Structure 1
Amino acid sequence: MKLRLALFSALLAAFCIVKAEDKPKTDPKAMPQPEIVKTDDEWKKLLTLEQYEVTRQRGTERPFGHIYEEFEKQGEGTYYCVCCGAELFTSKEKFHSGCGWPSFYDSSKAKGVLEKPDNSHGMRRVETVCKRCGAHLGHVFEGEGFKTPTDRRFCINGIALKFVPKGGEAPKLLEVSSDAVQKKKDEVAKEGGVEVKK
Structure 2
Amino acid sequence: MHRFTHALAALVLAAPAALAFAGDTNAFSNPTAGFALTKPAGWHYLSAAQNMDNIKRMKLCDEEFHAMMKQYASAPLVAMSKYQEPFEDVNPSFKVNLKTYGQLKGIPATELIKLILPQFQKTFRDFVLVQAPVEVQVAGIQSAYARIDYTMELPDGRSFPTSSELWIVPRGDYFFMIGAGTRQDEKTGTRAEIQGILDTVKITQ
The normalised TM-score by structure 2 is: 0.26
Which has a greater percent of strand?
2
Structure showing greater radius of gyration is 1
